[in-house]
């Protein structure tokens, strides 16, 4: 590490926000670009805090893209239902990139509504999404918070026998499982989306490569436990999601304009909270995938 890079990382600080995880990060200006030392410091922060809040990031699409691709292969935005004008971005909120309000009960609006469910981005992919970054471009005067759940702490809080019983279990994840809970049908998806989003399998318990801590790996996309009766597996998944989203494991993030929030999808879940206001809400989503199948 060269001295200049070392000086830069020494200025990066973390301030805990939640009870068990989530932190505000200081000392990073995404618009100016980051180097390997900053990337490593951010990776370390994500490994220990799970969710990082970057304040006052006045960035455009190019800067956001340059930032996220430092952390791995950018996720291809293949879902035409919420496609943006950028190959790696989705538009999250009540309007699209052109500022047009999503029509109530339209496929795009139903898709957005599913974000109210507790989920992990990209769990329905193989390889799954590893990190997500969401940048606030337009917010209402009182923006709805986004809630995050700490699945390291949730697993650790289970009794020893229960933790042992979960080791080795494999869960099938599917975009259709989460969207059917919001009233969508297979016929609502484009042919391209159906080809790109086939069900995948992931372990129920994952290990963080940096910290070696184990966590649950859950999402509204989680359909059933492989090798178990459908309803039995779903009951287990639903019970674990209820456990992992108790207030003691949750951080509720109050949004501010120009914030970028980044999180590690391997050990956190999140959900949007309801918003029915007339003022537009628009955030730009991007992510990077794991290098290998999980």
Within the chain, how many helices (H) and strands (E) appear?
9, 15
Structure tokens given for 91: 């538009």
Cβ atoms within 10 Å of 55's Cβ, excluding its own: 12
Structural contact between residues 219 and 265, judged by C-beta atoms closer than 8 angstroms: no
Task: For the chain, give every domain's residue range.
Answer: 3-289
Report the CATH number of the 3-289 domain.
3.60.130.10
Residue 10 in this model has a pLDDT that exceeds 70: no
Confidence of residue 188 (pLDDT cuts 50, 70, 90): confident
Q: Is the pTM of this model over 0.85?
A: yes
Confidence grade of residue 3 (pLDDT, cut at 50, 70, 90): very low
Are 56 and 260 a contacting pair, CB within 8 Å?
no
CA distance linking residue 22 with residue 37, whole number of Å: 21
> Which pLDDT band holds residue 2 (cuts at 50, 70, 90)?
very low
Length of the chain equals 294
């Amino acid at each position: 590490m060269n001295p200049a890079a070392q000086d830069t990382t020494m200025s990066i600080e973390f301030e805990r926000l939640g009870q068990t995880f989530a932190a505000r990060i200081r000392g990073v200006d995404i618009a100016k670009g980051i180097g390997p030392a900053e990337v490593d410091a951010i990776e370390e922060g994500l490994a220990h805090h799970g969710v990082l809040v970057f304040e006052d990031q006045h960035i455009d699409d190019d800067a956001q893209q340059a930032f996220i691709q430092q952390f791995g292969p950018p996720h291809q935005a293949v879902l035409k239902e919420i496609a943006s004008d950028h190959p790696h971005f989705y538009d999250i909120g009540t309007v699209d990139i052109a500022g047009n309000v999503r029509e109530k009960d339209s496929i795009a609006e139903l898709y957005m509504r599913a974000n109210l469910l507790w989920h992990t981005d990209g769990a329905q992919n193989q390889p799954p999404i590893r990190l997500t970054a969401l940048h606030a471009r337009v917010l209402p005067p009182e923006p709805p918070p986004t809630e995050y759940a700490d699945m390291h702490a949730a697993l650790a809080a289970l009794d020893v026998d229960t933790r042992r019983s979960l080791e080795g279990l494999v869960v099938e994840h599917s975009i259709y499982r989460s969207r059917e809970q919001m009233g969508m049908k297979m016929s609502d998806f484009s042919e391209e989306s159906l080809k790109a989003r086939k069900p995948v399998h992931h372990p129920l318990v994952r290990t963080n490569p940096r910290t070696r801590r184990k966590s649950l790996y859950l999402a509204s996309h989680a359909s059933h436990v492989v090798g178990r009766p459908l309803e039995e597996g779903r009951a287990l998944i639903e019970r674990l999601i209820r456990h992992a989203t108790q207030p003691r494991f949750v951080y509720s993030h109050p949004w501010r304009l120009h914030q970028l929030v980044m999180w590690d999808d391997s050990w956190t879940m999140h959900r949007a909270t309801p918003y029915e206001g007339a003022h537009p809400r628009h955030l730009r989503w991007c992510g990077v995938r794991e290098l290998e199948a999980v």
